[in-house]
Chain A
């Protein structure tokens, strides 16, 4: 009954698949985004491109590591590591062998807010690849051997983080700024929390997160809307209708801590943390432009010039915005000569103050806007990159025409906007400063 129903649906897919919206992308002229809705009502955004015989499918479910139950930190990450380790009748080895034989890759990952998946296939193996993806999503086995293997692997990573300067600094920053919130649970878990996780926990977390109602999908490559429509029903229709997520509260990160951790290495890692913005904040684009001038990744930022070029204090010095669903951070980082770590911190903090009080010049603003608008097309040069962005547009609610609007939004940022957002983010706030390195003096 079910079978014939599905059969009818799939042969009618061509007629039913509603391609309701087209939006031309200005930064990547040849590209247009189609909204595809399957007969069963599953929506995906598609960029169809037959240049190379590859199909990239990316998707995200609401609910990431922030959904780890108390005392079970790392559960969602373990779920991501085990969902491709056997499903249906195929045990771990059989499942992985099928992927290898087909030259298909399927992988899962998580951050604090979302659970991500991706699939890559060549065109002739689309059906087989979709079948395996459906199996992994609907019927993962969580057999004892692969679960133990993945736990051991994650425990090893967690232990490595305990002696890695970036791992220690990141943990210290989280403890200082996310204290008391579920975001402070380590996404990758701790050796202790991971050791107790079971297949039952994995099944419960799978049921909690993986559902039709909370999935967003982006697809790029050599696939038509009709083919995609059929594939969406095959892969995502069998999922349970709704997920069972715990609500997560919005919060403002704590500030003002100064924390030093000793580690016997010849360098000091510095992190400077401040509250940032969520992606849906009306000031986000202004903050993005401001951050670019302050420390955003190019060889021309204030941090790079002052810390590296003028003083040779560090190989890298940068800042970035880290938006989450329920809060945001602005983080500065450098790894510096231990005997000049204080000087590095001072120089970094001076840049924050200077941005809040003086702000950039009109020329610097123009240069930043030119960079950010001019570099936008570079995000569209491979299938995977575009597929990930199609998912991000949906999860952040930016809209199907965002690729078109985005550069205009950056262009519209004024000096006044940058000054306002710099004051909002950088003035009258005591940054949290983390140092990890050898003892000085």
Chain B
């Protein structure tokens, strides 16, 4: 075997060219045809995105405009394959539900597939399937979205049918009742059967005690059981209207064509409601320690998490959200993150350890850290080690090298993201339904680039000094975690 040995090459950010300038060069090397949509005859549109100069822009060739009925439209041309991702996003999620009706946003999402007067009995799904399309939908705290991925020639039909079900949904008890059973099974599958999911649900509920982010998106079981046709239709009539929606089309399309199609389909839908400003109950400051434990014999790997409420991309001011992004990277992403290095590599006490910043939210977001102990270590050990790392961070801050490394990696990930048409569509759709603008998303790399180590330290001191909500996932105490103790095989002949 020949051994490959080579002199180490300089790190990308140790040469004379700065990291960011280097990444900019990569971005600017993109073909010009992809770059700017400003000269497509659409310059007169109200919100057409102006190209930002000499900077890193995500989806440079994106175009953005608003129809007369208030529907926002985002078009992201991507000519690499003759396919299109078509998504409609409603600014209506579980945090917009009436009191006592948790789960109705998600329940309506299921019912939206049932049909309209002109396309009854799930005809939309059949027509998509006949054309080889893929479809699905998802509900979150702040939005509900429906999407299809189809060969580009089917885009007009998708727009026609999606516009149809924006105003013409027809429901009967006959379809609503079994669908409620399906949702209850979905809850049992996703939450009740998984101790980790049950813990996340409980931690969430004690993190947000007054704000609706504390209720599960899928809904509490007893409230799902009480949902009916009327509740679903009331939610639909209140929120499903063009002036409360964002259309995202990404793929092999012309902006002018999409605009004409949008006007001919969605443009014909009247404003059905005026949902008004989205104001939710604010979260009060709370005294006292908040800890939740889920103890279950199904648990095979214990873990601990700590959660803080922090500003989101939308509620944060100045460079705060980006600083939290960089902080979460330094603290808990990547092979050199502080938590991984301290808990996993140096102390060899944890199987995994990390941090996250959930930044996309209309109201506040969350910052979290987590760890899972290796055999021989306890959850208390994890908390002690995490506390030591946090203390060091709050005392000494972070280094310039750490900040540079984080920025390079985060901005490179934005370049990789351009490889996924659906990923880009989701990025813009979720941002626009959580209070962000197209420009906020497009200039995210430059905003990250502007973060200093002082910003990171200030963000850490502002938010991570408060008591976190602590969640632990535990095995029952004093009991050998006997593998599959209650699992019994009973092979038998089929009769």
Contact = CB atoms under 8 A, between A and B. Distances in A.
Interface stretch (A73-81, A257-265, A276-284, A323-331): A257-265
Contacts of A163: 297-300, 484
Interface in B417-441: 418-422
Contacts of B186: 315
A335 B189 contact: yes
B185 interface: yes
A51 B9 contact: no
B129 A260 contact: no
B200 to A, nearest CB: 16
Contact of A256 (B151, B177, B251, B494): B494
Interface in A45-97: 49-54, 88-89, 93, 96-97
A213 B422 CA distance: 37
Nearest to B125: A299
B493 A258 contact: yes
A267 interface: yes
B192 interface: yes
Interface stretch (A7-15, A25-33, A353-361, A390-398): A25-33
A433 B494 contact: yes
Nearest to B31: A51
A129 B293 CA distance: 44
A49 B79 CA distance: 11
A408 interface: no
A299 B122 contact: yes
Given A152-B374, A162-B484, A312-B185, A28 B82 contact: yes
B12 A88 contact: no
B31 A371 contact: no
B409 A100 contact: yes
B489 interface: yes
A163 B475 CA distance: 12
A162 B300 contact: yes
Contact of B419 (A240, A367, A383): A383
Contacts of A440: none
B415 A382 contact: no
B276 interface: no
Contact of B126 (A93, A97, A300, A374): A300
Contact of A165 (B34, B193, B334, B415): B193
A265 B80 contact: no
Contacts, number: 266
B192 A265 contact: yes
Interface in B143-180: 149-151, 154, 177-180
B287 interface: no
A350 interface: no
A138 B4 CA distance: 7
A40 to B, nearest CB: 11
B317 interface: no
Interface stretch (B65-73, B130-138, B277-285, B378-386): B130-138
Contacts of B79: 30, 51
Interface in B24-43: 25-27, 29-31, 34
Contacts of A298: 125, 129
A382 B423 CA distance: 10
A53 B30 contact: yes
Nearest to B406: A100
Contacts of A138: 1-4
Given A101-B11, A299-B125, A382-B420, A153 B351 contact: yes
Contacts of B413: 103
A271 interface: no
A96 B335 contact: yes
A266 B192 contact: yes
Given A149-B348, A315-B186, A374-B151, A120 B416 contact: yes
B351 A162 contact: no
Interface residues of A, number: 100
A399 interface: no
A312 B130 contact: no
Interface string B453-495: 0000000000000000000000000000101101111111110
Interface stretch (A224-232, A303-311, A416-424): A303-311
B46 interface: no
A238 B375 contact: no
A369 B352 CA distance: 46
A309 B487 CA distance: 31
Contacts of A54: 415-416, 418-419
A381 B185 contact: no
Given A267-B193, A378-B132, A383-B419, A160 B300 contact: yes
B130 A370 contact: yes
A299 B121 CA distance: 12
23 contacts: A28-B81, A93-B335, A93-B345, A100-B336, A102-B12, A103-B12, A122-B412, A124-B25, A145-B345, A149-B351, A156-B351, A162-B484, A237-B2, A264-B297, A265-B188, A267-B193, A298-B125, A335-B185, A337-B185, A371-B131, A380-B80, A380-B81, A381-B81
Given A97-B336, A163-B299, A378-B149, 9 more contacts: A54-B415, A54-B419, A88-B6, A122-B26, A168-B487, A238-B1, A261-B484, A299-B135, A430-B494
Interface of A: 2, 27-31, 49-54, 88-89, 93, 96-103, 120, 122-125, 127-128, 131, 134-135, 138-139, 145, 148-149, 152-153, 156, 159-160, 162-165, 168, 172, 176, 191, 234, 237-240, 256-267, 298-300, 308-316, 335-337, 367, 370-378, 380-384, 430, 433
Give the top 8 A-B pairs by smallest Cβ distance, nearest first.
A374-B132, A312-B181, A103-B412, A312-B178, A96-B335, A375-B132, A159-B300, A315-B186
